[in-house]
Structure 1
Amino acid sequence: MKTNILVTSLFLLAGLFTSCQSEMDEAKGYGYLQLSSIDVNKGVETRADITESEAIAVDILDESNDVIQHADDWRNLNDVILPVATYTIKAYSADKNMETQGFDAQPYYAGQKDVAIEANKAKSVNITCKLAQTMVSVSCSETFKSTFAGYTCYIEGADALSIPFVEDEARAAYVKAGQPLTVKVDFGNGKSFSQEITSKAEAAYHYKVNLDITEGNAGFDISVDQTIHQYDVTVKVPTKQESTDMVTSDIKNDASKVWGQFAYLSGICNLAEVTSPVQFRYKKKADSEWTTVEAVQEDGTKNYSAKVTLLDFNTEYEYYILCGDKTGETCSFTTESYEEIPNLNFDTWTKVQKGLFTKRDCWFPNGDEANSYWATGNDGVVTLKSSNSIPVEDGRSGYSVQLSTISITMVGYAAGNIFIGEYNTNMSDPASSVSFGRPYSGARPVKLSGWYKYAPGAEMRTGATVPADRTLTSDECEIYIKLWSGETLIGEGSFVDNKNVSEYTKFECPIEYIDPTKRPTKITIVATSSRYGGEFEGTSVVGQLAEGSTLWVDDFELSYY
């Protein structure tokens, strides 16, 4: 803003009128004062509510500072004859209140000059009226807006002055000069940041405050254009405000706290007396509304936590701890991303003719003619027998998987199986034909569920040695899931049954994480008609099982909270 200048031209003229000259000759101790004109400098920029017809009042004060002449409009103050003395001439906005502050305040202009009246002499004097208040406005950088959502900025001063600048407020406010000014940012969650921008606001100055961020300590930069008296103040608001009473734990890099659709919020309350329930508030960073949840205190500590669920995948959230009117720092985290496991409903299959002497149907549980994601042992079985892991239509939607345990030359038995991984037949070392797992970097599931039927074989085989600690009286089917980080197993869950289940029944397989601080790089899901059908000694299966055991599975689903 350029300072608006009102120029009041005050002229002391001798011999203004012939009729007055004789009076002055007689008095000898008097002079004449006449207000000739008031001009508005239109070549400068100001707020839009400044009009061309600015009303200017005039006071003439004697040496005792008493007003001896006044006019609400300078044009109504006609020729004035004054005794020889020194006078103060004050010109000021006639129809405005300089005490009003804020967006509704109007600019108030004032100026004054001392004039010495001499006998029988005329003098002229010009008084420059300038803005008697301070202007202040607030803007925010795009970085600030993207970092903080739902904030309100206040310009604070003396006598409880507090002017709110909501987000994207473009107007400037007028405030009284001479007072200290502070910018305060309220983040809407009980946390705020304050920074003094001047210890004494100067009249006719415009403080243009620009809010920005810094990862370090708070600070501000000031540049001044002395010609137009404009202060450009950049206030650097730290992204974190430290608190000694309430500490919000930063969980964004803690895999044990941040999952795909839930998170464990944590913090510390160091208040000497906790008079209100300790709580957490959280929201999506892009949202404005906060959700409040009760915190649970860890026995014997000042630590508090809360589990929040039904979060969205790959989404940034903000949160903080609070107790009464005390709040901890606002922190953020981003949930794990969702990665789709293909063909969990087992509706996609491809059939190829394969076999050593006789061509048979070899089924692959993928859209191509290979064990490209899901795999079975069919590729080895069809060398001598028909596929024992096949799609069937038996009452569920689309296809289900039928897995059967069969007898087979050379290895003795082959359990029906389907798994995430690779299968490459190795007749000299059958156990090495199977490689479990595929690369996976998605959110960690907490449960595998689906539908199954099971018919264990009529008679258990004899002479089997695995497991060695017990003798099975009925074959067992198994469905399990495992996750690894590198070569380290970090989570697993298993469902086992040995009963005859003739109707599709829901199964659930909770996943226990051995090391919740690591995120997975590999995953497998396995279903088999005989739990110990993959136990080999040399080239022979040595697991306890029953020929004819059959497992049907369909519509697997992973849960993430």
Structure 2
Amino acid sequence: MKTNILVTSLFLLAGLFTSCQSEIDEAKGYGYLQLSSVDVNKSVTTRTDIAESEAIAVDILDESNAVVQHADDWRNLNDVLLRVATYTVKAYSADKDMETQGFDVLPYYEGQSSVLIEANKAKSVKVTCKLAQTMVSVNSSETFKSTFTGYTCYIEGADALSIPFVEGEERAAYVKADQTLTLKVDFGNGKSFSQQIASQAEAAYHYKVNLDITEGNAGFDISVDQTIHQYDVTVKVPTKQESADIVTDDIKIDASKVWGQFAYLSGTCNLEEVTSPVQFRYKKKADAEWITIDAVQEEGTKNYSAKVAPLDFGTEYEYYILCGDKTGETCTFTTELYEEIPNLNFDTWTKVEKGLFTKRDCWFPNGDQANSYWATGNDGVVTLKSSNSIPVQDGRSGYSVQLSTISITMVGYAAGNIFIGEYNTNMSNPASSVTFGRSYSGARPVKLSGWYKYAPGANMRDGGTIPADRTLTSDECEIYIKLWSGETLIGEGSFVDNKNVSEYTRFECPVEYIDPTKRPTKITIVATSSRYGGEFQGTSVVGQLAEGSTLWVDDFELSYY
């Protein structure tokens, strides 16, 4: 049945009142507007529970889109005198919210038109309002209902839209127009089927989705009746959600394939002939629009994979393999959570006075005057000398870290260092003063980067024995990262340099994972002015190093894809 469109008629009357005409004559550069009437008709068949009457508000907007005149009810908008300019007249439902979506939402109508106001002239404008939303409903055929039981259909869209159509639901829902809409059927056994039904849902149209079955591949037909503004969408769901020929691998518990901001999708295509490229489709579970990516075949097999990035931390995704026009089952995975490493920019420092005979500033790279997350060896050094791991302001924003190798009584040398872990001075066993690493359950980083400069000391010490396989001619700085699962090292990366670098230079330190099947429970990041400054024999440092070597570091950053 064809019905009418909601029409709001705004007229600039040609015959104005005599008193109004004299007002225009006195105010050159103005025109006059009078709202005539509003007729409410409907062209889209709405739900039977929708009221017939409509409350229509009107806004008159200037060229900067500012409202110069408003009426909650068009009938209360009296004669309007306007300066010469172009205006937009907008009419809309006064008592409804176009942003809400669902079964209980009421239809929202709107429309607009522009008009040029000329001096001492009367103009007329007509605004045609129509339904600004999209209607959608879902119906299942008898064969579908007899084949599948206990299922729930969802209409999914932008902004986490997910409207459930349980078995037997006959109502239509109102949703926002211009979004991608996807039908998802959840069969309740870990299997689901998804089909996009509109890439950009049209306003003032009713999408009637009809679910049916097919013994072959999924089918999708759509027809439109312009006379009643209705799309008939037929979705044919395979009775077998996955065959042995097309298999989507379930990766959700495989740590080697699911990371913080990327994942390796995988599947199998055992078809005798594949006439189209093998691909994967994936999306956030809360989204409606699928992303398609080409798959790469593993040599000598019928297995396929694809790396997808960047993804969002701690987010559930859906995906399936696509072989020509045949699809595998839809599977899900959830990316690793993000966990912040504090003070990676090294701008937070505190100090206290410590020392055995003389009080000195002992610097801590945390906000609580302790080695509470980041640590240094300052707590031991200040018993006899000034801190050798300190904050400095030397051209970069905020603070940088200056790490210096010094000579010191009892142990011989102390390299400047900063690390994630704990430091507790043990003079009888100096090597045990340091404990590297703190608890970490976040996403696995793939790279550590930042800024550094380095000045190796002028003269290498005599008597250093480590490393034993070569003799260093110049001191080496080192920056590294390690991750453990329990007590097992699962990933590490290191950056080493022995050149004089006088300007801040970016470094990159890729993380190589020894065991990508495990997730981390502990992490450390370390920077030191002398790579072998922590090598002890008894109470003495035996590493090859140079007094005076200085490393500056700043603005560390972890990357996750």
- Compared with structure 1, are the counterparts of its residues 269 and 167 closer, same or farther at alpha carbon in structure 2 (3 Å cutoff)? farther
| Counterpart residue type for residue 188 of structure 1 | Q
Whether 1:412 and 2:412 are equivalent positions in the alignment is: yes
Conserved in 2, the CA contact under 8 Å of 1:420 and 1:523? yes
How far the C-alpha of 1:245 sits from its partner, in A, is 1.7
Tell me the CA shift for residue 138 of structure 1.
11
1:416-450 Cα deviation digits (max 9, x unpaired): 00000000000000000000000000000000000
What letter is aligned with 1:169?
A: A
1:284 and 1:141 map into 2 onto residues whose CA distance is 26
In the alignment, which residue of structure 2 is the partner of 1:122? Answer: none
Residue 195 of structure 2: SS of its match in structure 1? Answer: coil
The Cα shift of 1:187 comes to 2.3
Map 1:474-489 → 2, pairs under 5 A: 474-489=474-489
AA paired with 2:476? E
Is 2:388 the partner of 1:388? Answer: yes
In structure 2, the residue corresponding to 1:444 is in which secondary structure? Answer: coil
| Correspondences of 1:62-77 after superposition (within 5 Å) | none
1:187 aligned residue (171, 194, 217)? 194
Aligned position for 1:229: none
- Of residues 128, 146, 152, the one that matches 1:144 is 152
CA apart distance, 1:393: 0.1
Partners of 2:154 and 2:163 within 8 A in 1: no
Give CA-to-partner distance per residue, 1:382-404, whole Å, 9 cap, x none: 00000000000000100000000
The residue correspondences of 1:211-360 to structure 2 (distance < 5 A) are 241-360=241-360
Query: What secondary structure, in the 3-state scheme, does the structure 2 residue paired with 1:379 have?
Result: helix
Distance of aligned partners of 1:535 and 1:137 in 2 relative to their CA distance in 1, 3 Å threshold:
same
**Radius of gyration: which is bigger?**
1
CA contact (8 A) 1:403 1:551 kept: yes
Rounded to whole Å, the distance in 2 between the matches of 1:151 and 1:137 is 25
Residue 188 of structure 1 aligns to a residue in which SS?
A: strand
3-state SS of paired residue (2:379): helix
**2:456 is the alignment partner of 1:456:** yes
Instruction: Give the direction of change, closer, same or farther, for the CA distance of 1:359–1:292 in structure 2 (3 Å limit).
Output: same
Contact 2:484 2:491 in 1 (8 A): yes
Maintained 8 Å contact 1:151/1:166: no
Maintained 8 Å contact 2:156/2:287 = no
Alignment of 1:509-548 (within 5 A): 509-548=509-548
The two structures have a TM-score, normalised by structure 2, of 0.61
User: Are the counterparts in 2 of residues 482 and 493 from structure 1 also a CA contact under 8 Å?
Assistant: yes
CA distance in 2, matches of 1:374, 1:147: 49
Matched residue, 1:113:
none
Q: Distance in 2 between the 1:238 and 1:137 partners?
A: 12
Alignment RMSD: 3.5
Deviation at 1:323, TM superposition (A): 1.2
- The letter of the residue matching 1:290 is W
Structure 2 alignment gaps of length 5 or more: 1-46, 50-139, 175-186, 198-209, 212-236
CA distance in 2, matches of 1:135, 1:265: 34
Kindly provide the CA deviation profile for residues 42-62 of structure 1, in whole angstroms up to 9, marking residues without a partner as x: xxxxx979xxxxxxxxxxxxx
Q: Which residue of 2 aligns with 1:169?
A: 172
SS of equivalent to 1:465: coil
Q: Supply the AA of the counterpart residue of 1:450.
A: G
Paired letter, 2:252 = K
- Distance, in Å, in 2 between the alignment partners of 1:447 and 1:344 is 14
Q: CA deviation at 1:368?
A: 0.4
Correspondences of 1:70-219 after superposition (within 5 Å): 144-145=152-153, 169=172, 187-188=194-195
The offset of 1:243, in angstroms, is 1.8
CA distance in 2, matches of 1:487, 1:335: 24
1:524 positional shift = 0.1
Distance in 2 of aligned mates of 1:283 and 1:296? 19
Determine the C-alpha separation between the residues in 2 that align with 1:143 and 1:523: 44
Q: Could you give the per-residue CA deviations for residues 101-142 of structure 1, whole angstroms, max 9, x where no partner exists?
A: xxxxxxxxxxxxxxxxxxxxxxxxxxxxxxxxx998999999
| Counterpart residue identity of residue 280, structure 2 | F
Shift of 1:240: 8.8
**CA–CA distance in 2 between the matches of 1:238 and 1:314?**
31
Larger mean Cα displacement after TM superposition, 355-364 or 134-143: 134-143
SS at 1:390's partner residue? strand
CA contact (8 A) 1:151 1:187 kept: no
Gaps of 5+ in 1: 1-46, 50-133, 155-164, 172-183, 191-209, 212-236
Contact kept in structure 1, 2:415 and 2:528, CA below 8 Å: yes
In structure 2, relative to structure 1, the CA distance for the partners of 1:420 and 1:145 (3 Å cut) is: farther
The amino acid across from 2:478 in the alignment is: E
Offset from partner CA, 1:440-461 (integer Å, 9 cap, x none): 0000000000000000000000
1:368-447 aligned within 5 A: 368-447=368-447
**What stretches of structure 1 move > 2 A for 4+ residues in a row?**
134-154, 165-171, 184-187, 237-242
